[in-house]
A and B are shown apart, each in its own frame.
Chain A
Amino acid sequence: MSVATSTSPAQTVSLSKAAVRNWKPPIGFGIFAIIALLLFTVGARSGITTFRLSTSSDLIQLPAISADVVIVTTVVVILLFAMAAYSAWLSYRAMRTPLWMTALFAALFLVAFLTWAAAGQLIPVPGLLVGAVGLSAPLIFGSLGGVISERVGVVNIAIEGQLLAGAFASAVVASITQQPVLGLLAAVIAGMLVSFVLAAFSIKYIVDQVIVGVVLNVLVIGLTSFLFSKLLSPNAALLNSPPRFPRLPIPLLGEIPIIGPVFFRQTIIIYIMYVAVAAVWFALFKTKWGLRLRAVGEHPQAADTVGINVNRTRFWNVSLAGAIAGLGGAYFTLGSVGAFNKEMTAGAGFIALAAVIFGRWDPIRATLAALLFGFASNLQSVLSIVGSPVPSQFMLMLPYLVTIFAVAGLVGQVRAPAASGKAYVKS
């Protein structure tokens, strides 16, 4: 017997993969290769550039590398064009250009650029990198604060204010107590206070988050500048001479060539920063807390339905974000400069915001973006010392330009948390 099965012929649905050709990488590579060609031929320079890899205090001394500008630039330009062509071939075959190739491309471009810009001069590589990490530190703390805040659904334009408040509070408290650790604590509290205002106004009073952020920045600039002029500058000895954190070399790691001085002979704030980056990444993506946080930022209604208190989650995580950003502010006074000054953050909060977006709201990527921006900024100051042909203003512009390209979708996909910037009103 046979069951009358209406046997349709087994349709083997072959899911043919649509050939998606992404031409952005080869176009980008090509543009940069042409820029390199123009820069190195029109503005041709000659001479020997020396890269010093070790400092005099290093245990293991690496020899300095000398590079002939003409040879290096010629070789690199050829390599860049080759990579652009290879990337175009990959795109034609509907394959992705691997990330390592982009990294290699950027590194080659950078080496050639450095060699060319510092023709006939000496570049202290460890000094360049140490300075970059130092300049990145407040950006990294600020961008971690931004990531947490935006992931939970509150746009944090007030990073600048949180940094500035942290810098101010840490300078005053550390000066009075002569305890840098207490200064650090004060910075955390100050950043948190700014966040309380941001959270209260945007969550309780449903004021637009961008407005609150912008106004808070003005408020903090006004308050700190007022108190600085009125109290801090007349009593600088008592109120504005904070002790700085000493450098704490980590025994074994600190002796690794190049990496040692850059990452492991730093102040305690930088070590806190490493821990903070790892902790934020782990907490966001591997814990219940992080899942809830992201749920609230992506779909508050769904989060509410499963019993998460949306507004309370937002309030406390925005406060946490402010606390972390406040730590970044402390770096200005306790880590690098030493005394508070009017508007000393000078737009670092906005670069941190740029790092958040360029890093696609991911703590690790945002950290890398902040490092990149810090490096560009320090490169500018090193090159202005050796007398670079590129005006420093254009180097300083770089992070902002890169961010505009990023949000305009020219550098990968950028997608904000869905509910970021939207207040949640339950009724």
Chain B
Amino acid sequence: MSEQLPPPVQPEETVTPVTPEPETQEGSRSQQVLRDILGGSAMISVLAVVLALIAGAILIAVTDKNVQAASGYFFSRPGDTLKAIWDAAAGAYSALFQGSIYNFRRPGFADGIKPLTETLTFATPLIAAGLGVAVSFRTGLFNIGGRGQMLVAAGAAGYVAFTFPMPFPLHLIVAVIAGVAAGAIWGGIAGLLKARTGAHEVIVTIMLNYIGLYLISYLLRTQGALQAPGSNNPKSPAMLPSAVFPDLLGAKYNLHWGFIFAIAATVWVWYLINRSNLGFQFRAVGANPHAARVAGMNVKNIYVYAMLISGGLIGLAGVAQILGTVTTGFSEGIDAGIGFDAITVALLGRSKPVGVFFAGILFGALKAGGYSMQAAQGVPVDIVLVVQSLIVLFIAAPPLVRAIFRLPVPGSMRRAKALNPNAMVTK
């Protein structure tokens, strides 16, 4: 998987321009519009979510005790089985809804809406980390190292947050900067190694995940580093109040200012990718590094910058975790799988800042609702991982979704190439 430097010129990679499918102009304009909507990426995204939820429902129903009991006498009373299946799936998904958006059982709007704020709290690190992964995707890099970047960011920000007392806004800002910088450095290592030695960033980031994990694990067990003084547990002390994100909607809700940071990060990444000079170079390198080099861009530096920014944004996710969500001290599980979730968030959001924002909220809802689903219906929260990964699998393979729903194909080869620029297309 490692790439050589300079990359060998592979003649087969110079892809012959793919001729678009000869579209038979049989339909009218309105039919064409309908076809674009049905075959378009937004429709695929929605259908992928639906398909994944259906698959999740099947899984929930199959493992449900009542369904199993009722299926024992399926042929004498099939209605019972169907009712049990419906009860299991509907119960689980209504618990998911009530745990993530609005709880009808609570009195009053202020209490009822609390789940939505929980969703946004869960979404905050997902959005930040998803943006980081999206930046790397747009540059043609795979940042699989979210876990390591989040952990070192949490370590750095946490150290600043509980060791150096400072007045309130300053302390928070310094802690955030420390965390973002640590994440950026951890990501930048992968970028630097790719630029200077051609080491494949997927391998390096995966390995850096574990190095970061064991490093933080060691520091959390070392007095004077990250371990709480006088404690034997591998856990840090609580953050000083001056370094904690203030509550956004009052003490009643867990939602904190980290969410505003996530919104700001979304806007900033949008500006960076779509409007800035650097973002243009990111996209150019992502589309075709050879062409970008010919156009005079310094591809190696772009790799380093992209990984720095990507790592920094993922670092922000780690910071949001320890200074916003869990402020009573963190352990080595603080990343909570967000580093990998971020990949699915970026893929669902198609690496576009606004898309990532809403994908982050959707997955935040799945997480928030997943816990209430576990509490209320006894459905293990791991089902969220299944639904999440199925969504991404379906989204990544539009032909599959189209085949399932018998949707029209909006021009075949172009789409395949756009999905995977690495693909060799022979003519």
Partner-B contacts on A (CB < 8 A): 150, 155, 157, 197, 201, 205-208, 210-212, 214-219, 221-223, 225-227, 229-231, 299-301, 304, 347, 350, 353-354, 357, 391, 393-394, 396-397, 400-401, 403-404, 407-409, 414-416, 418-427
CA of A197 to CA of B389 in the docked complex: distance in angstroms?
Answer: 12
Stretch in B175-183, B205-213, B287-295 touching the partner: B205-213
Q: A408-B204, A424-B426 are in contact. List 8 more A-B contacts (CB 8 A).
A: A229-B380, A350-B206, A393-B218, A397-B214, A400-B208, A404-B193, A425-B423, A427-B425
Beta-carbon contact of A208 and B422 below 8 Å: yes
Minimum CB distance partner of A401 in chain B: B211
Cβ of A206 and Cβ of B217 under 8 Å apart? no
What 0/1 pattern do residues 79 to 107 of B give for CB contact below 8 A with A?
00000000000000000000000000000
B144 near A214 with CB under 8 A, answer: yes
**Is B416 in contact with A301, judged by CB distance below 8 angstroms?**
no
A347 to B208 CA separation, bound complex (whole angstroms): 13
Question: Does B1 count as interface, using CB distance less than 8 angstroms?
Answer: yes
Q: Contact at A403–B384, with CB atoms within 8 Å?
A: no
Contact B383 A226 (CB under 8 A): yes
The 0/1 profile, CB within 8 Å of A marked 1, for residues 183-209 of chain B is 000000000010001111011101111
Q: How far does the alpha carbon of A274 sit from the alpha carbon of B74 in the complex, in Å?
A: 49
By secondary structure, the B interface counts as: helix
Query: Looking across the interface, which residue of chain B has its beta carbon closest to that of A205?
Result: B397
Assess whether A226 is in contact with B393, with CB atoms less than 8 Å apart. Answer: no
Tell me if B304 counts as interface (CB < 8 A to partner A).
no
- Interchain Cβ contacts under 8 Å between A and B, 9 examples: A208-B419, A208-B422, A211-B396, A212-B393, A350-B207, A393-B215, A408-B197, A408-B199, A425-B416
Main secondary structure of the interface of A (DSSP, over half): helix
Q: Does B58 contact A (CB under 8 A)?
A: no
Q: Flag B389-409 by CB within 8 Å of A: 1 or 0 each.
A: 110110011011000000000
Interface residues on B, range: 35 or more
Contact among A201, A401, A409 with B197 in the assembled complex (CB-CB below 8 Å): A409
Determine if B2 and A226 form an interchain contact, defined as CB atoms under 8 angstroms apart.
no
Q: Is the CB of B202 within 8 A of A157?
A: yes
Flag the segment in B23-31, B260-268, B306-314, B339-347 that touches A: B339-347
The verdict on A225 contacting B10 (CB below 8 Å), with A205-B399, A215-B393, A347-B210 known, is: no
Chain A residues with CB under 8 Å of B424's CB are 300-301, 419, 422-425
> Does B386 sit at the interface, judged by CB under 8 A?
yes
Please state if B211 and A397 are interface contacts (CB–CB under 8 Å): yes
B391, closest chain A residue (CB): A215
Could you say which residues of chain A place their CB within 8 Å of the CB of B390?
219
Question: How many Å lie between the Cα of A211 and that of B221 in the bound state?
Answer: 34
In Å, the complex CA distance between A222 and B382 comes to: 5
| Distance in Å: Cβ of A213 to nearest Cβ of chain B | 9
A397 touches B215 (CB 8 A): yes
Asked if B202 and A207 make an inter-chain contact with CB atoms under 8 angstroms apart, the answer reads no
Q: Does chain A have a CB within 8 A of B227?
A: no
Is B413 an interface residue, CB under 8 A from the partner?
Answer: yes
CB <8 Å contact, B420 and A423: yes
- Are the C-beta atoms of B422 and A422 separated by less than 8 Å? yes
Q: Nearest-CB distance from A220 to chain B (Å)?
A: 9
Query: Given A354-B207, A393-B218, are A210 and B202 also a contact pair (CB < 8 Å)?
Result: yes
